[in-house]
Amino acid sequence: MKIHREGLASILIAFVVLALISGAVIYFLPGMPLVGNIVAAFSLVLFLFIVSFFRIPAREMKLGENLVMAPCDGKVVVIEETYEPEYFKDKRLQVSIFMSPANVHVNRNPISGEVKLSQYHSGKYLVAWHPKSSTENERHTVVIGNGKADILVRQIAGALARRIVNYLKPGMQVSQNEELGFIKFGSRVDLYLPIGTKVDVQLEQVVRSGQTVIATL
């Protein structure tokens, strides 16, 4: 397992702050060792939890030019036909994946191809499962296209996730399962697929980026 570069600063800050708090409690309350031990134990658990936000576990990735791979870890919360207003401006098949704070937070390219759009939008911080979060929350939209299809991937911030990172630029050639970006502390990722695409997952199914096939083109 590796630690993602996006987490290095956050982990360092958390370590310093928690160490100072624990040290202060132990120093100023020398006659209350139980309190000091409880604070130190809580600080250690919290620090390890923060480190876990930025983990990148070693895993074998699945590849396939006809496959749309999961762009993130999480649970499938939406599978429906809907109107996509930003890029396609027509009906698409939407598959949404909710990322909890316990999930791996790195996002990956679902297909290989050319980046046709990479656009950041500021916005609100509604809870990730809110119906309007896809169009009103802070978000970053990417469209990747190849000879098979154009796929839209939308990273969406939520009530806790206030930092979206995206590495793609228009015109780039990207490979399936390479890093697309990162959402700190979870949230949601939407996929918009062509109508009629065969979906290979079900609602409430837990998926893993680079390993779970979302759909077959």
Nearest to 51 by CA among 21, 6, 99, 98: 6
Asked if residues 98 and 128 have their Cβ atoms less than 8 Å apart, the reply is yes
Which residue in the block uniquely carries the two structure tokens 């839209």?
152
User: Which regions of 157-208 does DSSP assign to beta strands (E)?
Assistant: 164-166, 173-174, 179-183, 187-193, 198-199, 206-207
3-state secondary structure of 205: coil
Element (H, E) at 136: helix 133-136
The most distant pair of C-alpha atoms in the chain lies apart, rounded to whole Å, by 71
Q: Is 134 designated active site?
A: no
DSSP states of 2-64 as a string? EE-GGGHHHHHHHHHHHHHHHHHHHHH-TT-HHHHHHHHHHHHHHHHHHHHHTEE---PPP--
Characterize 55-65 residue by residue with b for buried, 16 or more Cβ atoms within 10 angstroms of its Cβ, and e for exposed.
ebeeeeeeeee
- Tell me which of 22, 118, 133, 187 is the catalytic residue: 187
Question: Which amino acid is residue 73, in one-letter code?
Answer: D
Catalytic residue IDs:
187
